[in-house]
Amino acid sequence: MTVIFYISAAIAVVATILTVTRVNVVHALLYFICSLLATGVMFFVLGAPFVAALVVIINAGAIMVLFVFILMMMNMGPQSADQERAWLTPGAWVGPAVLSVLLTIELVYSLVHFRAAATTGQAVGPQQVGAALFGPYLLGVELASVLLLAGLLGAYHLGEGAMKPREKRS
């Protein structure tokens, strides 16, 4: 179980580094999704399947869809479509595909061999999660919401500048 955790952690670190170092935003999003999936596997291995499901559903699902829609809304014109086609070669999918296959193998292995470890936890209901989030963890939840708001405002500000027609300088 510890080996699977460390492999997932290594995949998360590598995918996060690749997320930060990619020039193409779509490639960075693919690596970021792999990083979030690795984080979900780490939580599952630690015996927190509910948190793992939340990480995958909320982060890798909803937030990534939001990022994709932001990219679609920032239509830069016909020249950007040609540039995107040139960037989206089959080789761009190799890195994220390899990391995702490794994570899938780890998850299947841990589901098959450590089923008892994952099911020994106590069931947690939505009321308990809400009471914990808005009880002792209220400050963390509020800080996360402010951080998301700051990211949203930053994306709006950057997108607003890109949508304005550029003035010609004489």
| Contact predicate 22/31, CB 8 Å | yes
Give the pLDDT of residue 33: 85
pTM comes to 0.54
b/e code 139-162 from CB counts within 10 Å (16+ = b):
eeeeeeeeeeeeeeeeeeeeeeee
| Contact predicate 100/34, CB 8 Å | yes
48, with CB counted inside 10 A (0-12, 13-18, 19+), is: middle
d(CA 38, CA 101): 11
**Binning pLDDT at 50, 70 and 90, where does residue 113 land?**
confident
Has residue 105 got a pLDDT over 60? yes
**Binning pLDDT at 50, 70 and 90, where does residue 167 land?**
low
**Binning pLDDT at 50, 70 and 90, where does residue 74 land?**
low
SS3 50: helix
Share of the chain above pLDDT 70, in %: 75
User: Up-side HSE of residue 138: CA atoms within 13 Å toward CB?
Assistant: 4
Length of the chain: 170
Has residue 15 got a pLDDT over 80? yes
At 33-64, the pLDDT tens digits run 888 888 888 888 887 777 888 888 887 677 77
Q: Which residue has the higher pLDDT, 20 or 123?
A: 20
**Binning pLDDT at 50, 70 and 90, where does residue 116 land?**
low
A 10 A CB-CB count for 57 gives 11
SS3 23: coil
**Binning pLDDT at 50, 70 and 90, where does residue 87 land?**
low
Q: Is 122 left (phi over 0), alpha (psi -120 to 50) or beta?
A: beta
- Out of 74-83, 123-132, 140-149, which region has the weakest mean confidence (pLDDT)? 74-83
